[in-house]
């Protein structure tokens, strides 16, 4: 049966806010009408405080959900990664259980689609049966050039499992500092479909390593047994180094951007017309105790999206909680803008044309947000729930 929903604040997902807006949906949640006053055909009108489309979490590592609370906070990326590596041993049953639990929690918190990093097959069974749409980034890393063939072959084998299960996926590099030139080259040759994703400028150590050949990230990599000669030191930014390996015709997500400068953004936008800049502020706070300069990205008018990263570096997988942290630190950013990043921009990145926006014919999922101030500002008490 059709339903009519009215919200004091109707966030349409593309940056607009309609006060006292209404939508009509059919029994499968498809939008039939949207506006100020729509024909109710005698149907009761359901009243809400605020509504918005389902969220797109563009960066997650669902397979790390069992690591919640296991990695110490604020140690910096050079301590976070070794701590993560030492925690990876856990029974497969516990890993799978945590994946199932958090897939359902994400859906309950209004998330309808996820761009999810996979280093293993652990999340595959869950994704196949989930209500959430997943695109899996089969992520590869390795600095030893002679291992590059073996790494790509393992990636292709894992990718084949996702294809066989009918799951959307693509092979991607982990980050500029963890992938050899030979492996970058092999990924470029073997992967022609997207979208793509790469961790970008998450720590100051990454900047120091690329531009000066020093710092804590470089030390971490040599402590892992990598030859100093295998580490990249180009005297240029890590972003400049990695971009030429990534086809500019294919959507690319740059994840974190905590230490990205104005020049980095301008240069990258010039070289790559299909860039999306993903912020995971809770994870940045957890690991580095620092946030990206988000107003700078807005000033330059680039496409922003939101992600939760993993439970190894976050207390929740909630897009609303990411929006709350951003607005708390940058109070001038309006809620409708943050919702646009979480909805329309995320859907554009993953090429999901029927999600992200309340428009006729779309089936974007519907969320209620409660606990907003009058003009729509989020508060500490704001809460999200799923209406459809
Ligand atoms: Zn990540």
Q: Do 71 and 38 fall into the same domain?
A: no
Centre of ligand 1 from the C-alpha of residue 41, in Å? 48
> Is the same domain home to 171 and 269?
yes
* Residue scoring higher pLDDT (198 or 84): 198
Residues 251, 363, single domain; the answer is: no
How far, in Å, is the centroid of ligand 1 from the Cα of 252?
Answer: 14
Q: Which residue has the tokens 């999901």?
A: 352
Q: Token pair for residue 293?
A: 């300069």
The answer to whether residues 28 and 150 belong to one domain is no
CA of 76 to the centre of ligand 1 (A): 14
- Calculate how far, in angstroms, residue 60's C-alpha sits from the geometric centre of ligand 1: 6
pLDDT in tens, 213-229: 889 999 999 898 888 87
Give residue 309 CA to ligand 1 midpoint distance, Å: 5
For residue 83, pLDDT beyond 70: yes
Q: Tell me how far the alpha carbon of residue 21 lies from the centroid of ligand 1, in angstroms.
A: 37
Q: Say whether both 41 and 139 belong to one domain.
A: no
Helix 319-329 to helix 281-288 angle, to the nearest 10 degrees?
70
- Indicate if 3 and 95 belong to the same structural domain: no
Q: How confident is the model at residue 72 (pLDDT cuts 50, 70, 90)?
A: confident
CATH number at 206 reads 3.20.20.140
C-alpha 175 to ligand 1 mean position (Å): 10
- pLDDT surpassing 80 at residue 235: no
Whether 253 and 154 share a structural domain: yes
What pLDDT shows up at residue 234? Answer: 67
Confidence check: pLDDT of 232 > 80: no
Ligand 1 centre and the CA of 129: distance in Å? 23
Domain tally for the chain?
2
CATH of the domain at 19: 2.30.40.10
What is the per-residue pLDDT across 183-193, written as a single tens digit (0 to 9) for each?
Answer: 999 999 999 99
Tell me the average pLDDT of the chain: 94
User: Residue 200: its pLDDT value, please?
Assistant: 96
Cis? peptide before 344, omega within 30° of 0:
no
Tens of pLDDT, residues 27-64: 999 999 999 888 777 889 999 999 999 999 999 999 99
pTM attached to this predicted model: 0.97
89: confidence class by pLDDT, cuts 50, 70, 90: confident
Tokens coding 63: 């397979």
Q: Look at residue 231 in the predicted model and tell me its pLDDT.
A: 79
DSSP string, 234-275: -SS-HHHHHGGGS-TTS-EEEEE-TT--HHHHHHHHHH-TTE
| Same-domain pairing of 44 and 60 | no
Domain containing 280: what range? 55-355
pLDDT-derived band of residue 88, with 50, 70 and 90 as boundaries?
low
Q: What is the pLDDT of residues 340-381, one digit of tens each?
A: 999 999 999 999 999 999 999 999 999 999 999 978 999 999
Q: Do 30 and 105 belong together in one domain?
A: no
Sheet holding 111-118, edge to edge: 55-60, 111-118, 133-140, 168-173
Length of the chain: 388
CA of 164 to the centre of ligand 1 (A): 25
Q: What is the pLDDT of residue 313?
A: 92
Q: Are residues 170 and 308 both part of a single domain?
A: yes
- Indicate the pLDDT class of residue 75, thresholds 50, 70 and 90: confident
Average pLDDT rounded to a whole number, residues 258-270: 96
Same domain for 338 and 305, yes or no, is: yes
pLDDT at 92: 92
Mean pLDDT of 62-71: 93
Q: How far is the CA of 350 from the centre of ligand 1 (A)?
A: 17
DSSP state string for 51-97? EEEPEEEEEE-GGGGGGTTTS-SSS-HHHHHHHHHHT----HHHHHH
**Could you tell me if 238 and 147 lie in one domain?**
yes
Residues 284-290, mean pLDDT to the nearest whole number? 92
């Amino acid at each position: 049966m059709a339903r009519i929903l009215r919200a004091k604040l109707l966030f349409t997902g593309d940056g607009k806010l309609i006060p006292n807006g209404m939508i009509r949906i059919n029994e499968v949640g498809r939008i039939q009408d949207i506006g100020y006053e729509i024909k109710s055909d005698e149907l009761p009108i359901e009243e809400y405080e605020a509504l918005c489309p389902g969220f797109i979490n563009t960066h997650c590592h669902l397979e790390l959900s069992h690591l919640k609370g296991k990695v110490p906070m604020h140690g910096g990326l050079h301590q976070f990664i070794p701590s993560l590596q030492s925690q990876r041993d856990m029974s497969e049953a516990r890993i799978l259980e945590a994946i199932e639990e958090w897939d359902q929690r994400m859906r309950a918190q209004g998330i309808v689609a996820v761009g999810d990093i996979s280093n293993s097959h652990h999340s595959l069974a869950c994704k196949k049966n989930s209500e959430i749409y997943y695109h899996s980034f089969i992520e590869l890393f390795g600095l030893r050039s002679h291992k590059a063939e073996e790494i790509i072959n393992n990636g292709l084998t894992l990718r084949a499992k996702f294809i066989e299960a009918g799951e959307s996926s693509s092979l991607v590099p982990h980050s500029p500092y963890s992938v050899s030139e030979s492996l970058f080259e092999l990924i470029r040759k073997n992967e022609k479909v997207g979208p793509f994703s790469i961790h970008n400028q998450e720590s100051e150590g990454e900047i120091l390593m690329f531009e000066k050949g020093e710092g804590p990230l470089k030390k971490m990599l040599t402590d892992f047994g990598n030859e100093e000669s295998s580490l990249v030191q180009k005297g240029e930014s890590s972003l400049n180094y990695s971009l030429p390996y990534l086809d500019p015709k294919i959507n690319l997500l740059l994840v974190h951007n905590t230490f990205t400068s104005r020049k980095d953004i301008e240069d990258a936008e010039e070289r790559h017309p299909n860039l999306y800049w993903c912020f995971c502020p809770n994870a940045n706070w957890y690991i580095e105790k620092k946030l990206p300069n988000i107003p700078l990205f807005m000033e330059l008018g680039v496409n922003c999206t939101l992600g939760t990263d993993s439970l190894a570096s976050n207390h929740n997988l909630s897009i609303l909680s990411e929006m709350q942290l951003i607005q708390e630190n940058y109070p001038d950013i309006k809620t409708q803008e943050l919702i646009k990043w979480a909805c329309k921009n995320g859907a554009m990145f993953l090429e999901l044309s029927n999600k992200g926006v309340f428009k006729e014919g779309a089936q974007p999922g519907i969320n209620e947000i409660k606990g907003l101030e009058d003009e729509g500002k989020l508060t500490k008490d704001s809460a999200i729930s799923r209406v459809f």
